[in-house]
Amino acid sequence: MGVIIRRYLPVVILLLFAGVSAGLLLNRPQPQQKMIEKIVPVLDVMQVKKQQLNFNINSYGMVKPKHQAELVAQVSGIVNRLDPAFAVGQFVRKGQVLAYLDDDDYHADLAQAQATLAQAKAKLEQEIAHGIVAKKNLRHVAVAKQSALGLRIPQRKQEQANVKFAQAALARAQRNVARTTIIAPFDGLITEKAVNIGTHVNVGEQLGRIFGTDVARIRLPVTPQAFSFLDTNSLNTRVILASERLGQPYQHWQADFIGTEGIIDQQSRMVYLIVDVFDPYQLQHPSSQRADVLKFGTFVTANVAARPINNAVKLQRHVVRNDHVILVDRNGLTQMRKVVVARTDLDYAYISSGLEEGELVSLTWPDNHLDGKEVTPILNTPSKTEQATLTLTHSKGTENGD
């Protein structure tokens, strides 16, 4: 009996254990079924609003005179008198005498030339008279036998040449006398003075320098890309110059767009715009009203108006990638679309086509974006302080105008 128990006891234990385990499995509590929630990402979007965008190009330049000249001596001599206005920083008028050279010798040359001309004219009159007498004496001689020498024709021509020579010498002497006075060639500002009373000057020696005050000229470098945005009609191109005075507000001047230099600079690869400011020192105004004087040598920044962009859309620059944006349709599904970027600046991209009024553009780029992805759009209203103005700055290392 004991042998049978020892033989079948393990089997009985295993059967009991299997039965208990089966009972526990059958009586275990069933897990509750849960509904799987669908996760929909949220996107900030803005509504497309087309508008006309004013476009400006920023540049800079140095104010220089349109006209400038070196005052040089056309005759040699000693400076014996100077006008008080012939000093650095003084304004002079066109035709104003600035300096006088000793002209005694030139007046002597003038008197000599006048006497020589008088003698030449007298000899010519005598020769004309001799010709008349010779013609009378040869009136009975056949015309074919009359010689030019007998009629004193060569002698008369020689005296006529002597008169012309004396007239040219007289004109030269008169010019030399006039050149002993140094006059201002135009209204201007004296910027250099190299002589004083008693200084001996030679022909061609520089006496000073004058800057014309009628027009100031500024060369403004812009990239070829930025230049392509400008209106070639100078009447439609507004230019505003600005300069900061130490501790004071900016001064502004209206300038006239003249054109370009017509070439691309080989070193800087820039196109230079030419703008003028008339009467920069406001000499045509009373002295009490000369508040905004534009001095030569002033460094100014320029704001040049370009062609406006019609029906354009202004987007933050990071919204546009490789000329594509992400749209959200009425069903909340995303769609990638190619757009035409007219211009860009440091912060914004300006779209000329590819978007329609009222469409929703995503302000963010989802990771691993696929077209047709469902999202929850949240409309973002742009700040009222944002101005629909595009300002394009240039850099020598940036040829695309950004």
Sign of CA dihedral 101, 105, 111, 115: negative
Residue range 223-248: average pLDDT? 81
Distance from C-alpha of 295 to C-alpha of 288, rounded to nearest angstrom: 17
Least confident piece of the model among 186-195, 288-297, 387-396: 387-396
**How much of the chain, in percent, has pLDDT values that exceed 70?**
80
Higher-confidence position of 161 and 39:
161
Distance from C-alpha of 350 to C-alpha of 56, rounded to nearest angstrom: 13
pLDDT tens digit string along 187-215? 999 999 999 999 999 999 999 999 999 99
Confidence category of residue 279, pLDDT binned at 50, 70, 90: very high
Confidence category of residue 145, pLDDT binned at 50, 70, 90: low
Confidence category of residue 155, pLDDT binned at 50, 70, 90: confident
Helix and strand tally (H, E) in the chain? Answer: 4, 23
Neighbouring CB atoms inside 10 A of 9's CB total: 10
With beta carbons less than 8 A apart as the criterion, state whether 216 and 277 touch: yes
pTM, full prediction: 0.69
334-338 β-sheet, strand order:
334-338, 324-328, 360-362, 42-47, 376-379
Distance from C-alpha of 85 to C-alpha of 97, rounded to nearest angstrom: 9
Mean pLDDT, the chain, integer: 83
pLDDT at 230 over 90: no
Residue 302 φ/ψ, nearest 5 degrees: -125, 140
Least confident piece of the model among 62-76, 172-186, 219-233: 219-233
Residue range 11-35: average pLDDT? 68
**How much of the chain, in percent, has pLDDT values that exceed 90?**
41
Beta bridge partners of 1: none
